Amino acid sequence: MTRIALLDDWQRVARTSADWSPLIARADVSFFEMPFTDEDDAARHLAEFEIILVTRERTPFPSTLVARLPKLRMFGLTGARAGLIDIAGMISRGITVCHTGGGPSVSSTAELALGLMLAAARQISAGDVAVRDGRFQVGTQAGSLLDGKTIGLIGLGRIGARMAAYCRALGMKVLAWSQNLTAEAAAAAGAVRTEKDELFSTADAVSLHLVLSDRTRGIVGAADLARMKPGAILVNTARAPLVDENALVAAVQSRRIFAALDVFYREPLSPDHPFARAPNVVLTPHLGYSVIEVYREYYQHSVENALAFLDGKPIRVLQSAGN
């Protein structure tokens, strides 16, 4: 039987999010519920599989790993973008690469960005710990109000525009910037287009909503973080490499700003990482798309894609890394 690996089911939701029985009847399906320790570990576990189905970009698939998977014939990813996966290299090797729909991930990611901003502003994580420790308010700090404050959005696409609407509902002034953003497009989303330097120096919270690319990698650097107001909040639910990690570590260790992060350079985040030890950082384990409504579409489409490939009629096939 064809061997199929479903990777990255760290929340153990794949089996209940779709009907796998038609696929299990025709193939040997293995579910991997823990991350690999490194590329060698991934290569050892995956060398015998002909179909690999992954969840977003939890496991990197650089060209060096793909070259060590001689039996791989089909690769399925959830969504259609994957910065940590060598899609072009797979296609050049004759591997069929299929994608899924994204489900309501625009809403789920924007909702999480809002939640992280609120958690940082009101010290919600610390308050939760205090109550569980029996201290109640003792040892907690007063938070800050968001009504009347300014949010700066780096990127005003679908997720950024949804975040703009949420922030306006809180009574916040909304500023926005990206390299191609026009004043008219910003106004249509209820925001004011401003220059990047002004946004960082003016906003009480900055939220990132850009696609990671060569042009946007490291787009937030030490100079940008230095412009932020003392006590301002940086929210990142997009991609970690948008921000210079060393600069962000230095900024939070200085206690000048708060950070609210859902994405990291290496996932899972090590408990020894400076972010994990900083009291002015709110952390979530890459939950932006991780809602059951999104998982249902991801995994049902993954099953359909694998079945269609076994039938010799692949669907949702990517023709290039950008399509």
| 267 counts as catalytic | yes
User: How far is it, in rounded angstroms, from Cα 176 to Cα 293?
Assistant: 29
Query: Which letter, b or e, does each residue of 143-159 get, where b requires 16 or more Cβ atoms within 10 Å of its Cβ?
Result: ebebeebbbbbbbbbeb
User: How far is it, in rounded angstroms, from Cα 135 to Cα 111?
Assistant: 30
**What's the token pair of residue 191?**
């925001």
User: Which position among 99, 239, 297, 301 bears the catalytic label?
Assistant: 239
Q: Which amino acid is at 119?
A: A
User: Which position among 99, 193, 209, 286 bears the catalytic label?
Assistant: 286
User: Which position among 57, 267, 297, 304 bears the catalytic label?
Assistant: 267
Q: With 0-12 CB in 10 A as exposed, 13-18 as middle and 19+ as buried, what is 33?
A: middle
**What's the token pair of residue 236?**
């990142």
| 48 counts as catalytic | no
| 286 counts as catalytic | yes
Q: What is the DSSP string of 97-137?
A: EEE---TTHHHHHHHHHHHHHHHHHHTHHHHHHHHHTT-TT
C-alpha neighbours within 13 Å on the C-beta side of residue 157: 12
Question: 294: closest CA among 111, 171, 131?
Answer: 111
Q: In what order do the strands lie in the sheet with 281-283?
A: 192-193, 173-177, 150-154, 205-208, 233-236, 258-261, 281-283
Active site residues: 239, 267, 286
